[in-house]
Structures are given as C-alpha cells and as structure tokens.
Amino acid sequence: MKELSVFIDESGDFGDVKERPAYYLVTFVFHDQDYPIEQQVIKLEESVKNAGFDVEYIHTGPVIRREEIFTGYSIDDRRKLLYKMLNFVNACPISCLTITVDRKEAVDKVLLSGKLAKAIYGAMSAHQEYFLSYDKIIVYYDNGQNELSAILNAVFSIQFSNVEFRKAEPQRYRLLQAADFICSMELLRIKKDEKRLSKSEENFFYKSQELKKTFLKSIDKKKL
C-alpha cells in the first residue's frame, strides 16, 4: 500500500493586521513512505550531538534571531545548527509546497480563512494526480492554530477519501522541523525581495548571496 505523509507548518496568525506588509504562509512537506529516512535522521541527530548541542527541535526562526533556548548560542554555533538542518533537508527524499497569502488582501480572520482555503484547494487540485497515486495520506500538524486546522481538515477531506489526520509535536518529527525550516526560508525570501530583512537576519548570513544561493536554491530543488 502506497502511503504519503504530509507535514505542515505555518508562519503568521489570524489576527487583524497591525503591521504592513504582512504575509501568512503554509508549508507542506511530502514524504513517500516507500523511501525511508531513518538513516538521514540518525545522521542529523549524531551530527548535532557530536557538535556538542543538546537540541531536540532545531527551530529555524529562533535559531536565526537568537531566541528561546538559543539565546546563549554564538552566531557560529547557530549557523552550524541551521546548516545541519539544511543538509538534512537536502538528503531526504521529500518534496515541498508553500502557500502564501498577502495580508493586505486578507485583513481579518474571515478573509484570510477564505483566501487560504481557496489557495490550498487550488494547490491540491493542481497536483491531484500525484495525491491520487497513494492509497493513504496521513497529515501531520501540531494544531498550533485552530483556524488552520479546520481549513486543512475541510480541504483534504473534501478532495481525498483516504486521508487521516494526526496531531504531532515538532520535537518528535524531524520532517515537521523540515517544514518549519522551509516555511521560515520562504518568509525570508519575501523579506529579502522587499529589502526588509532585520538586522539579526542580515547578520546571520555572512555573505549577501548566502541566503539565496545556498538556502533558497536548495529549497527550490525540492518543490513539488
């Protein structure tokens, strides 16, 4: 039986827009279960441990901005962690898709819900042949935002009869961390194009083209 795992992460929230420009992003990471990733996971975890890090969740945004548990980490150590996640994503047999909604077109919860549902439905429809090639689809999301959970349940259930939803914690699933990584990079792509990178984001990437040529280029190769 062919089985597809879908790991989802988001950036943004459903509150009224207080700052502009603002965006809401949803990233989907697709993994065909016929191609195991146990060895890639072991390699990542051994690499993190051997480097002296005690980290279960390589949370990309906080790594870059030196937040949460990463406040005591030097920029060199944080860069090492992010490169380990990049190498993991590159090594895994996965593909990805990111939905982006400009909040100037969806200034409140109702408008955003409608835009997201339409965009996600459209993306799934565009790749329907791919999804229908699987006997079972399992969707993993941490249910961090109830509004997005409801949209995902509705869209996937309408389009596919073979779908199952599972609440999952990023600490337990490296591909949820991969989704978080890709989602964060796609947001950085927007901010870079709009010349809105923060000082901490600019400082994190030593060379001006490092973000584009190393990180974003790798993600582009994984797109569905």
CATH number of the domain where residue 204 is located: 3.30.420.10
Please, what is the angle between helix 174-193 and helix 75-91, to 10°? 110
Range of the domain at 105: 3-220
Indicate the average pLDDT of the chain. 95
pLDDT at residue 128 is higher than 90: yes
How far is the C-alpha of 26 from the C-alpha of 21, rounded, in Å? 17
pLDDT at residue 176 is higher than 80: yes
Report the pLDDT value the prediction gives residue 17, as an integer from 0 to 100: 80
Report the pLDDT value the prediction gives residue 136, as an integer from 0 to 100: 97
Least confident of 89-98, 131-140, 201-210: 201-210
**Amino acid in position 130:** Y
pTM over 0.85: yes
Mean per-residue pLDDT for 29-44? 97
Phi, psi of 31 (to 5 degrees): -135, 115
- Residue 20: pLDDT band by 50, 70, 90 thresholds? confident
Contact, 182 vs 98, CB < 8 A? Answer: yes
> In total, how many domains does the chain have?
1
- Residue 208: pLDDT band by 50, 70, 90 thresholds? confident
Phi, psi of 47 (to 5 degrees): -65, -40
